Structure 1
Amino acid sequence: MPRFTANLSMLFTEVELIDRFEAAREHGFNAVEIQFPYELDAEAIRRKLSELDLRLVLFNVPADDLLQGGEGLACVPEKQQQFREGLALAVDYAKVLRPAAINVLPGRCLDPARYADYLSTFKHNLCLAADALSPLGVKTVFEAINSLDMPGFIVDTGAKMLAVQDALKRRDIFLQYDIYHMLRMGEKPIDFVAEHAERIGHIQFADCPGRGQPGTGTADWAALFSAIDRSGYEGWVGAEYKPIGETSASLGWLNHFR
């Protein structure tokens, strides 16, 4: 079965962020990921990881107002300096924490007439991220987010992810493939992972619909996790779901599939 990681921005939210590392370890995880770790000091995170023998495998470049309904950071032409500052912060954390990958969230374009300009800006900023992270041995990844939950997101399908990657022609920029978002778009993750495993730098999952833990929606998790195993993908697979009930009660899938 895949190597699973707990997303501490969504799991174990019953306790403060600094205490979620220990909760994840106690429930059987060897690795964690955080959407945005910046509320904690990087050195404090490093000490906690060392104490618990955990690895932090992924976090995001700051995304400004994206989660509050705004356009975000990486694709907005007028925010390029702000993106560079956010990237510099992510690089500072990466130097301390040495994650496997850092995610650059593309963001939204709320004016369709400007889509091409926004996409061009995102591609440019994605390359800036790879230029900064590759010398550290950190993969640069980016993801598609479904346009039902987040209207206007500039990369919302597997095909669009592949098109960005193809256009950049770089070996140090990878896909972050989120099973929930692609199921929400009506896509077939089993087929995508089988065909493009070598282009994927990180995988995340939640059941669909609802974005709860496996077993709360309609996805066939035995088939999905087996497909990841067969594909040759060697990275981590992140549990990034919204637990229905207490996090500890949502982890039956972990005992079943690990």
Structure 2
Amino acid sequence: MRYDVNLSILFTELPLLERPAAARAAGFDAVEMWWPFEGPTPSDAELDALADALDEAGVRLLGLNFDAGDMAGGDRGLLSARSTSNRFRENVEVTVAFAERLGCPTLNALYGNTADDTDPDLALENLALAVTAARRIGATVVIEALNSYESARYPITSSKAAFDLVDQVPGTAFLADFYHLYRMGEDLSALITNHAARFGHVQVADAPGRGQPGTGEIDYATVLAQLDASPYGGPVGLEYKPVGPSAESFGWLKETP
């Protein structure tokens, strides 16, 4: 198995531009992140600074979210509401260009919270637009389900709902976040057995606290061994809130495939 570190939730003890080097020092050569800028169209200087930090650390960017709004304030994406659609569209070309610059193969499009102006047809349009842009650089747009305990207004809360959306937009794939899926009561073993070939990316954290594997209920030794033997051949993103310092949260990896 190949593992990468999500720098939007790990190493947050450090400023963003210091996190790539910290991940490299911890033994990782790849990272991913949520949209790391305040708005949809950051300045060239901001983009250059992050690209330089990744290059200098010697880590590859494997996953990047499109702008999802104010995540800390509760936003969970922009593409499905008429009031936020233009912001999403402004961000698409910026995200794809940055991904092309860094060789990033996976782009995550969060659907958005249900609102008065949610428009499912517009969501499909925006996803198709993102796919068209991503296809130019050989990248894949992925769609994930979140858990309703933490994202009560997010409508995609099951693998079925996510697959239904993937089926409507050719060129998308399923982001299997085992933490969110487990919290929604899904059988991870059955999901891997039946659908691993359709995974575009995988992310892990333990439940219910979202700490590193080994701090909760999920039998990750078994789950990851099964994933390793499945048709899925991509990386596994570490997207957990470390219990203790980030650099000391990776001991569980010694017991995984």
TM over 0.5: yes
Supply the distance in 2 between the matched residues of 1:15 and 1:78 (Cα, whole angstroms): 34
Alignment of 1:148-227 (within 5 A): 148-168=149-169, 170=170, 172-227=171-226
1:135 aligns with: 136
Percentage of pairs with the same residue: 37
Q: What residue identity is the alignment partner of 1:190?
A: S
Q: Does 1:21 align with 2:26?
A: no
Shift of 1:196: 1.4
* SS of alignment partner, residue 136 of structure 1: coil
1:96 aligns with: 101
Consecutive unaligned residues of structure 2, counting only runs of 5 or more, are: 39-44
2:255 aligns with: 256
Supply the distance in 1 between the matched residues of 2:103 and 2:46 (Cα, whole angstroms): 14
* SS of alignment partner, residue 216 of structure 1: coil
Question: In the TM superposition, what whole-angstrom CA distance separates every residue of 1:16-74 from its partner, at most 9, and x where no partner exists?
Answer: 11111111111111210111233683333333333332111011110123441246411
Give structure 1 regions of 4+ aligned residues with deviation exceeding 3 angstroms: none
Name which of 75, 82, 86 aligns with 2:87. Answer: 82
Name which of 41, 46, 49 aligns with 1:44. Answer: 49
Q: How many residue pairs end up in the alignment?
A: 251
Q: What residue identity is the alignment partner of 2:218?
A: A
C-alpha distance 71-59 of structure 1, shift in aligned 2 (>3 A): closer
Q: TM-score, normalised by structure 2?
A: 0.91
Q: Which has the higher contact order (CA 8 A, sep 6+)?
A: 1
CA contact (8 A) 2:211 2:242 kept: yes
Consecutive unaligned residues of structure 1, counting only runs of 5 or more, are: none
CA contact (8 A) 1:6 1:31 kept: yes
- If each structure's helix is expressed as a fraction of its own residues, which one has the higher value? 1
C-alpha distance 21-71 of structure 1, shift in aligned 2 (>3 A): closer
Name which of 65, 78, 90 aligns with 1:73. Answer: 78
How large is the Cα RMSD of the aligned pairs?
1.7
1:7 aligns with: 6
